[in-house]
Structure 1
Amino acid sequence: MLDGNNIQVGAGRYAQCHGALKQIGQEVSFCGKTAYIVTDSTVWSKTGHIVKESMEKSGIRFTVDEFDGPSTQKSFEWIAKRLRDTGSEVVVGLGGGKVIDIAKGAGNLTDRKIITAPTSAATCAAYAVLYVTYGEDGSVACSQFLTHEISAVLVDLDFVADDCPARYLASGIADAMAKKPEFYFTMLNLGAEGMTATSEVATGIADYTYKNYIKKALQAIEDAKNRVDSALLDDVICMNIMLTGMVSDLSTGGKQLAIAHNFYDAVCCLHREARKNFLHGEIVGLAIPLQMAVNGSPQKETDEAKTLLAAMGIPTRIEQLGIDCTPETVRELIDYTHRKTIPEDKALYEKIKECMKVIM
C-alpha cells in the first residue's frame, strides 16, 4: 500500500503547557549528553536563561548558534558541519518555523536526534516529520521527510500564547485550514489511489480541525490578544501544531496535491517582496477560497471561509499582498500554480484560471 514508505506520526513526546521549556534539559538527557541549539538572537534573549538553567540542571553540555540564514540546503549543510564539529548528539530547534526546519534538515543529514521548541503557533513545523527546502532564489525547492521521528516537542505557552503576536496564531490557523480543501482535492484527483487508510484518517483530522476553527478561531485570537489563558486557546494552539502536523505526517506514504500551498510557492518564487512582508499561513490562507472554488465547494462554504479569513486579518485578495493584478502577473501565478499541481491536466488549468476571480 505504501510502497515501502514508513509512517512516522510526529514526535516521541509532546508537551504543551506553561513552563514547558524548563523540561528541555531532561528531554535532551533521554537522547544524549550533548546538544546543539539552533535559534535566533531575539528568541535566545528571551529564552536563553531558562534553557541554560535546565541544561545545567540535567548535566547537558550544549552549544548555541544564533543563526539567521535561510532554510536552504546550504544552511542545512553548514549546521550539520557544526553538529559534527561540536560532537553534539542532539539538535534543538528553538524558535519559529524557519529555525525549526533548519534544525530538522541538519539533524536528518547527520542522523542526530531532534527536539523542537516552537515560540509561535504559526505552523505545524515543530511536529511534522517533513521540512521545506528553499532554493537560493527564495522559491520552494522541495519538501523532504525525516528518516526518524522528532524525539520531543516542547510548546511553552509562556512564549507561544503570552509573548507572541496574535497575528502568528491567525496565520497558523489559516495554514491548518487549508488541509481540508487540499485533501479533498487530492481525493477528487487520485480516486481509489488516494484512498489509503492513513490518508482517510488524515482527512478526518483535517475535517475536525476545520470545523473547530470555524467555531473557535476568532475567540482564540481574541484570547491571544488579551492574554487570556483559556482552554479554547490551548486547544487551538494544539490543533495548529500537533493535529495539523499529524495530518502531514499521516500522508508520508501518499501523494498530496495542493493548490493553496502551490499558490504560496508561486508567490515565493515570483514575488519575493510579498513573501518578506507576509507570513506563510497568510499567503496560503489567501488561496483557500481559490482551492475551494476549484474543488466545486458550495458557494456558501467558500464565502464562510473567506469571511473568517478576513476577520482574522488574513489577506483575501492578491493585491493585498502588494502585487499588481495585471493580466501578465495573474497569468504567471496561474501558470506556476498549475505546473506545480498537475501540469498535464489542461482542464485544471482552465479551472484555476476561471476561479482566480474569487481572490481578485
Structure 2
Amino acid sequence: MKRVIIAPAKYVQGEGVLSSLGEEVKRLGQRPMAIASPSVMAKVEALMTEGMCEFPQGIQFERFNRECSWTEIERLQSICQGMGGDVLIGIGGGKAIDTAKAVAYYCHIPVVIVPTIASTDAPTSAVSVIYTDDGVFSEYLFLPRNPDLVMVDTRIIAQAPERLLVAGMGDALATFFEARACYRSGRTTNAGGRTSQSAYALAELCYRTLLSDGLKARLAVANHIVSPALENVVEANTFLSGVGFESGGLAAAHAIHNGLTGLPACHGRYHGEKVAFGTLSQLLLENASLDEIREVLAFCQSVGLPVTLGELGVEDGSAEALMPVAETACAEEETIHNMSFPVSVDAVLSAMLTADRLGRLFRDQGTIGGYC
C-alpha cells in the first residue's frame, strides 16, 4: 500500500509573526477577507490591520457567529464572493478555523489560518467539523488540500487561558500512540495511505516534546510569557499533532473520546481532556507496559490533564453507565478498528474501568505497580 503525507503549504510560528502577515498574504491574493468572533476580533483587529498595511484597500473583517454550520458557511461564502475576496483568513479557535477552511474551499480561493489558542490541531488539517446551528455534531467535510498558510503568533497564544494549552497537550498526547497503532496494523490514515516513517517520527517527536517541555510551557502561559518551552509545545500541539494525526493515523484514543461525548457529564470538558483519558484507555486496551502507562500518568498529572473519570465530571463510573461509551467507540466506522487486533465492546469497557482505577491509584498514592 502507498504511504501518504499531507501538510499545510507553509507554517510560520513565533512571537510577533503577525506583523509580517501582509507580506505572507500578498503572495496568495490581493483582496483579503478575515473572519473572527467578536471577542477574538477585539484582541487582534488592530494588530491584524497593522500587519496588513501593504494592502491599500485594507482588510475586510466579518463576524463569525460561533458555529461551523452550513448556515454560517453559506452566509460567509456569499459575503466573500460579493466583495470579490481572493484570499480568506480564519482567526480564532477550532470552529472559526474550520469555517474558514470550508468557505475558502467553496469560494475556490486560498485560506490562511491564524489560531489564537493552541488547544487543537485544526489549523493544519484538511478537514472541517460541521455542526448544526445549535452546536450538535453533523458531519465531517474532508477537503482536497491543507491550508495554504498557517501563522501562529505565540505572543497571542501566551495570553490565552492556561487550560486551553493543556487541553491541546491532551489532544497531542494521543498522536504518537495512535500513529504507533496504525503503523503496526498497516491501516489507511486520513491522508489516504499507510503510516510513513516520516509521519511516525513526527508523532514520536510530538510525544517527546510534551514530556520534556509540557510543564514548563504550562507555567509560561500561566504567567502570559513566551518561552522556548512554550514555542516547542505550541509547535507540538499545532503542527506535529496536526500532521501526525492526519498522516500517522487515528485509533482507539479518539474513538473513546467520541464515546465520552455522549455522556452529559463530559459536555463541559474540552476535546483534549477527553482524548487524554482515551489515550490511557488505549494503552490498557493494548496491554502496554506499566512503565509506559506510568510515564503517561505522570505527564498528565504534571500538566493538569484528567486521569480519572471523576476528573472528567463522570460520577457514575460503573460498567452499566460506561457501556454506551464503549458501544459508541466500537461503532463500525470508528477509528478504534485501526488497532492491530480485533476490538470488542467488552474489551473497551474493561480498558476504561482499569484506566480509571489506575488513574485513581496514581493520583492518590503517586504510584502504580509498587514503583514511584
Same fold (TM over 0.5): yes
Gaps of 5+ in 1: none
Measured against aligned partners, the alpha-carbon deviations of 1:90-124 in whole angstroms (never above 9, x if no partner) come to 11111111111111121122221100111111112
Structure 2 residue aligned with 1:184: 180
SS of the residue 2:305 aligns to: coil
The answer on whether the counterparts of 1:71 and 1:132 sit within 8 Å (CA) in structure 2 is yes
In the TM superposition, what are the counterparts of 1:248-263 in structure 2 within 5 Å? 248-251=245-248, 256-263=249-256
TM-score, with structure 2 as normaliser:
0.84
Aligned equivalent of 1:211, options 192, 208, 213: 208
| Structure 2 residue 117 is the aligned partner of structure 1 residue 120 | yes
SS of the residue 1:150 aligns to: coil
**What is the CA–CA distance in structure 2 between the aligned matches of 1:139 and 1:291, rounded to whole Å?**
26
| Structure 2 residue 99 is the aligned partner of structure 1 residue 108 | no
Structure 2 residue aligned with 1:332: 324
The answer on whether the counterparts of 1:40 and 1:66 sit within 8 Å (CA) in structure 2 is yes
Residue 73 of structure 1, CA deviation: 3.4
The answer on whether the counterparts of 2:217 and 2:230 sit within 8 Å (CA) in structure 1 is yes
Letter of the structure 1 residue corresponding to residue 260 of structure 2: V
- Count, aligned residues: 349
| Structure 2 residue 352 is the aligned partner of structure 1 residue 356 | yes
Letter of the structure 2 residue corresponding to residue 50 of structure 1: L
SS of the residue 2:163 aligns to: helix
Measured against aligned partners, the alpha-carbon deviations of 1:42-80 in whole angstroms (never above 9, x if no partner) come to 111111111123323332443222213322334323322
**What is the CA–CA distance in structure 1 between the aligned matches of 2:344 and 2:49, rounded to whole Å?**
53
**What is the CA–CA distance in structure 2 between the aligned matches of 1:187 and 1:171, rounded to whole Å?**
25
Of 81-90 and 284-293, deviating more is 81-90
Of 335-344 and 225-234, deviating more is 335-344
Residue 234 of structure 1, CA deviation: 1.2
SS of the residue 2:218 aligns to: helix
In the TM superposition, what are the counterparts of 1:82-161 in structure 2 within 5 Å? 82-134=79-131, 138=135, 140-161=137-158
In the TM superposition, what are the counterparts of 1:338-349 in structure 2 within 5 Å? 338-339=330-331, 340-341=334-335, 347-349=343-345
Measured against aligned partners, the alpha-carbon deviations of 1:318-356 in whole angstroms (never above 9, x if no partner) come to 232223324443011111011124579874322212111
Residue 137 of structure 1, CA deviation: 6.9
SS of the residue 1:16 aligns to: strand
Aligned equivalent of 2:307, options 305, 309, 316: 316
**What is the CA–CA distance in structure 2 between the aligned matches of 1:294 and 1:154, rounded to whole Å?**
37
Gaps of 5+ in 2: 358-372
Cα–Cα, structure 1 residues 230 and 304, in superposed 2: closer, same or farther, change >3 Å?
A: same
SS of the residue 1:121 aligns to: coil
Structure 2 residue aligned with 1:10: 8
SS of the residue 1:45 aligns to: helix
Structure 1 residue aligned with 2:165: 169
Structure 2 residue aligned with 1:307: 298
Letter of the structure 1 residue corresponding to residue 351 of structure 2: C
| Structure 2 residue 43 is the aligned partner of structure 1 residue 46 | yes
Residue 228 of structure 1, CA deviation: 4.2
**What is the CA–CA distance in structure 2 between the aligned matches of 1:346 and 1:131, rounded to whole Å?**
29
CA RMSD of aligned residues (A): 2.7
Cα–Cα, structure 1 residues 197 and 257, in superposed 2: closer, same or farther, change >3 Å?
A: closer
| Structure 2 residue 213 is the aligned partner of structure 1 residue 220 | no
Measured against aligned partners, the alpha-carbon deviations of 1:277-330 in whole angstroms (never above 9, x if no partner) come to 222211111211001111221122112212221221212222322233244430
Aligned equivalent of 2:76, options 79, 85, 91: 79
TM-score, with structure 1 as normaliser:
0.87
Identity %: 24
Structure 2 residue aligned with 1:296: 287
Structure 1 residue aligned with 2:363: none
Residue 8 of structure 1, CA deviation: 3.3
The answer on whether the counterparts of 1:115 and 1:153 sit within 8 Å (CA) in structure 2 is yes
